[in-house]
Copies of this chain bind each other. A is one copy, B any other.
Amino acid sequence: MSERTTGGLTEKGRATRQRIVEATALRILDAGVDGTSLDDVRAATLTSKSQLFHYFPGGKAELVRAVAQWEGEQLLAAQEPHLSDLSTWESWEAWRQGLEAYYLGLGRWACPIGSLTAQMAATDAETAAFLRTAWTTWRTRLAAGVRRMQATGSIDPAADPDRLATSVLAAIQGGLLLSQPERASWPLEAALDTAWATLHTPATAGTPTRS
């Protein structure tokens, strides 16, 4: 882990590095990792080959990892302040709307982290490991919200917060995937509506007993 936040990087340098990361993130989002060449990045950022390798000695792999990290931070930031609240249904609603607005703003019906996971999980173990922690963070934050709702009796206290949070994330990611070929958001809406219904469901039949 290169902890060179202070070591050997000037203000200008960090700005350039950041410019590279953001441009690469954009390009990756709608062309994929393999569809994004270093020359593309170079052209988009008005930089030179040597700069790319100066700021990312590990080459493309390291650049992609930097993109993954930045996208993770962006995604979490975009969900604030609601994600840190989630203590009322209004807060949940606001969180959902904010998240959808974020995805909408990206232009494509795709989650940066989800897409990267699909692309890298099988090929780049290191990046996959980082993405794993990103998912854990997100899930943990959501689970905390579930617990808050359980405390007020709004969600069945018998439910497992982590598993419930996971199913919400799955609804989001699956909904986004299904939205892509449709070029419309209704699959995402349908998936989230159903997840919502489950959240709102009081302690009824419970989980249908399946290990």
Using CB atoms and an 8 Å cutoff, list the residues of chain A in contact with chain B. 30-32, 34-35, 93, 108, 110, 114-115, 117-119, 121-123, 128-129, 131-132, 135, 160, 162-164, 166-167, 169-175, 177-178, 180-182, 186-191, 193-198, 200-202, 204-208, 210-211
Q: In the complex the two chains form, is B178's CB within 8 Å of A169's CB?
A: yes
Contacts of A93 in B (CB 8 A): 210
Q: In the complex the two chains form, is A122's CB within 8 Å of B177's CB?
A: no
Oligomeric state, in copies: 2
Q: In the complex the two chains form, is A205's CB within 8 Å of B197's CB?
A: yes
Contacts of A174 in B (CB 8 A): 169-175, 177, 191
Report the nearest B residue to A160, measured CB to CB: B190
Task: Say how far A206's CB is from chain B's closest CB, in angstroms.
Answer: 7
Task: Say how far A113's CB is from chain B's closest CB, in angstroms.
Answer: 10
Report the nearest B residue to A199, measured CB to CB: B208
Q: In the complex the two chains form, is B195's CB within 8 Å of A201's CB?
A: no
Q: In the complex the two chains form, is B200's CB within 8 Å of A198's CB?
A: no
Given contacts A118-B180, A122-B108, A178-B173, contact A211 B196 (CB under 8 A): no
